């Protein structure tokens, strides 16, 4: 459910806009309200579970997510939908980091590899099928059902989790409340400014305030990470060029990918004229390709190393977005769209399969939990920034007035998205050729060894 809700709303955006009204910035917030709260609270949610009980907090997060899904389905207007999406992100941030720990404890060691493989496949399937499920429910029932579908599943899982999962804690786990407040306020200010820049004006007081205050708070978070004894995100990890490279590459990858999907899913419906289901199906060569290519990419990375596979995947994704930008037009055929969709999907698969192993090779074993949580959070931040940045370019260069104005706005946005992913490919080359986790600095003083945080889709 948590991974699905990253992209399930994309193919429902035109129907939401028609039903509830709202401007482009409102549609951006229906996506970003979820990804942003998910991102900034992800590591805090893991720490809450370590401190107060992983099963207990998993059930709390599941309950919040389920209730917020019902609230989103019942939303009478766009503002209440955005608020419900934000609360959904809070619930996902609490429950999602704890799933891998709970799964590991629930399965015997001899079957753990198979269980984790199923876990990864289900998460990948959720991401791949998000646009298709969202489009099918929107077309055949209503857009509200992209949220209603979570409610019976959540209600069934809450008692099942209480009865079948074992409780556990991490003695001595600490909460970094100042760090959480700094990064939450900082990212909200920056994303708010980017989303509203074209409507309010780049020199308007709200936009300038958001950029300046947001940047100052992010700077405070970085200072806090260097100087606090037990920060949410130890900034010393970024002194390693490999850790810095793979995390910046992940942020830029999601910036380009999420922002492009946000616009292209609307293009397929509003300009080309596909139904929501048809649009979701036609996105599958991109979003679903990892299900086919990822196993081959994993084998390839074992043979030649993860760095060249990740860099090649990001390069393919960048080429796919550039190809799309070059051919996009109001009358473009699906046959012309198919090659860049496939190329982008192959690139996504080549990135996803070895990225986790590349990340873990840059840190000591005691730091792997925080490293994984950091990477997942930065990916979600990249997605939120991608929707904000590319939609800002879109609204500055085009709009919804006609098919041609939509194309006029989408083409430069796709070029920028492709450029961001191309930069990510270059940054991936900063990763060392060989793993050196054993040579890294030990975990920060007084910290317990955290659990690995799973990918959020």
How would you write the chain as a 3-class SS string? CCCHHHHCCHHHHHHHHHHHCCCHHHHHHHHHHHHHHHHHHHHHHHHHHHHHCHHHHHHHHHHHHHHHHHHHHCCCCHHHHHHHHHHHHHHHHHHHHHHHHHHHHHCCHHHHHHHHHHHHHHHHHHHHHHHHHHHHHHHHCCCCHHHHCHHHHHHHHHHHHHHHCCCCCCCCCCCCHHHHHHHHHHHHHHHHHHHHHHHHCCCCHHHHHHHHHHHHHHHHHHHHHHHCCCCCCCHHHHHCHHHHHHHHHHHHHHHHHHHHHHHHHHHHHHCCCCCHHHHHHHHHHHHCHHHHHHHHHHHHHHHHCHHHHHHHHHHHHHHHHHHHHHHCCCCCCHHHHHHHHHHHHHHHHHHHHHHHHHHHCCCCHHHHHHHHHHHHHHHHHHHHHHHHHHHHHHHHHCCCCCHHHHHHHHHHHHHHHHHHHHHHHHHHCCCCCCCCHHHCCCCCCCCCCCCCCCCCC
Report pLDDT digits (tens) over 50-96: 788 888 889 999 999 999 999 999 988 888 999 999 999 899 888 88
* pLDDT band at residue 172 under the 50/70/90 scheme: low
Mean pLDDT for the chain?
80
Q: Is the overall model pTM greater than 0.85, yes or no?
A: no
Report pLDDT digits (tens) over 264-279: 888 888 888 888 888 8
* pLDDT band at residue 252 under the 50/70/90 scheme: very high
């Amino acid at each position: 459910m948590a991974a699905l809700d990253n992209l399930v709303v994309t193919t429902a955006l035109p129907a939401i806009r028609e039903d509830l009204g709202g401007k482009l910035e409102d549609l951006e917030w229906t996506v970003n309200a979820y990804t942003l709260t998910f991102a900034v609270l992800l590591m805090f949610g893991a720490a809450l579970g370590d401190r107060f009980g992983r099963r207990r907090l998993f059930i709390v997060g599941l309950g919040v997510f389920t209730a917020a899904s019902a609230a989103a389905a019942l939303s009478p207007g766009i503002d209440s939908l955005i608020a419900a999406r934000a609360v959904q992100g809070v619930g996902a941030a609490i429950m999602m980091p704890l799933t891998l720990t709970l799964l590991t404890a629930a399965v015997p060691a001899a079957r753990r590899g198979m269980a984790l493989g199923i876990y990864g496949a289900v998460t990948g399937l959720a991401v791949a099928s998000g646009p298709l499920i969202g489009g099918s429910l929107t077309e055949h029932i209503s857009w509200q059902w992209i949220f209603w579908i979570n409610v019976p599943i959540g209600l069934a899982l809450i008692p099942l989790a209480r009865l079948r999962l074992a409780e556990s804690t991490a003695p001595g786990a600490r909460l970094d409340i100042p760090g959480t407040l700094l990064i939450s306020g900082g990212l909200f200010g920056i994303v708010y400014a980017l989303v509203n820049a074209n409507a309010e004006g780049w020199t308007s007081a709200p936009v300038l305030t958001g950029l300046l205050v947001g940047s100052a708070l992010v700077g405070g978070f970085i200072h806090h990470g260097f100087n606090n004894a037990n920060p949410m995100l130890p900034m010393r990890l970024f002194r390693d060029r490999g850790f810095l490279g793979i995390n910046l590459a992940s942020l830029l990858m999601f910036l380009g990918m999420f922002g492009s999907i946000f616009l292209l899913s609307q293009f397929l419906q509003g300009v080309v004229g596909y139904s929501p289901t048809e649009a979701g199906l036609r996105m599958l060569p991109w979003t679903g390709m990892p299900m086919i290519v990822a196993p081959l990419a994993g084998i390839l990375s074992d043979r030649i190393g993860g760095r060249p596979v990740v860099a090649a995947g990001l390069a393919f994704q960048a080429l796919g977005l550039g190809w799309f930008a070059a051919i996009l037009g109001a009358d473009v055929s699906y046959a012309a769209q198919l090659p860049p969709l496939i190329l982008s999907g192959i690139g996504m698969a080549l990135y996803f399969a070895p990225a986790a192993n590349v990340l873990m090779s840059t840190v000591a074993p005691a730091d792997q939990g925080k490293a994984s949580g950091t990477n997942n959070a930065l990916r979600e931040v990249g997605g939120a920034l991608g929707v904000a940045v590319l939609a800002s370019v879109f609204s500055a260069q085009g709009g919804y007035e006609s098919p041609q104005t939509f194309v006029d706005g989408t083409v430069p946005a796709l070029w920028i998205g492709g450029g961001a992913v191309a930069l990510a490919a270059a940054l991936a080359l900063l990763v060392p050729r060989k793993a050196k986790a054993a040579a890294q600095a030990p975990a920060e003083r007084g910290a317990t060894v955290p659990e690995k945080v799973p990918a959020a889709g």
